[in-house]
Amino acid sequence: MTIMFNGGKADVIMEYGLITKQEETKLNKEPSKPAYILEGEANAELYPASPAAMLYDKNETKFKGMNYYFKGELVGVKKLEGLFGNMEDALLIKNDKGYVMPIFSPHEIDATVGQTLEAWGPLSGDGFAASDLGVNNVVGMTGAMNATQISVHND
C-alpha cells in the first residue's frame, strides 16, 4: 500500500496499483486525462527511473502490470523477447537520468533516434540486462513497458 500526502493530508492511496476512492475523486477533477495516465504519472513519481531504480520483478510481482510514465530520448530499436515470448521491436528510450527502458508498442511508431518520446502503460515486470541492449545504462538490469500510448515530439 502506498499513501501520497499533499499539504499534510492523504491525497492518493494505492494498493498494488489499484485506484482507490480518494484517487477516483481526484481523477474526476481532471477529466482531460485518462485514469491510466494519471496513475502512471503518480507511479513514476513514487518509483523514479533513476540510477538506483529496479523497475522489474525478481521474486514478486510488485511492478508487473503497474501503470507507469516514462519520457526520454529514443537511442535505438532492438528486437527483444516481448509479450508471450515473441521477439518484438523494443524502443530503447533513455531519460535525463541515464535510465534506458525498453518500451514495446502495440503499433508501429514513426520516430527516429534522437527524438523525444513519452510513453504510458503497464510495466511488464520483466528485467533486461543492460549489456544485451547495446547502449549505456545507469543500471545493470532495467525494467520494460508494454505501452498503451506513445507520443513523439519533434523537438
Q: What is the mean pLDDT of residues 1-17?
A: 65
Per the document, the length of the chain is: 155
The listed CATH number (2.40.160.60, 2.40.50.140, 3.10.20.30, 3.30.1330.10) that belongs to domain 67-153: 2.40.50.140
Beta bridge partners of 119: 70, 150
pLDDT tens across 93-121, in order? 999 999 999 999 988 888 999 999 999 99
Does 45 score more than 80 pLDDT? Answer: yes
Q: Where are the domains of the chain?
A: 2-46, 67-153
Report the chain's terminal Cα–Cα distance, integer Å: 38
pLDDT per position as a tens digit, 69-100: 999 999 999 988 876 667 789 999 999 999 99
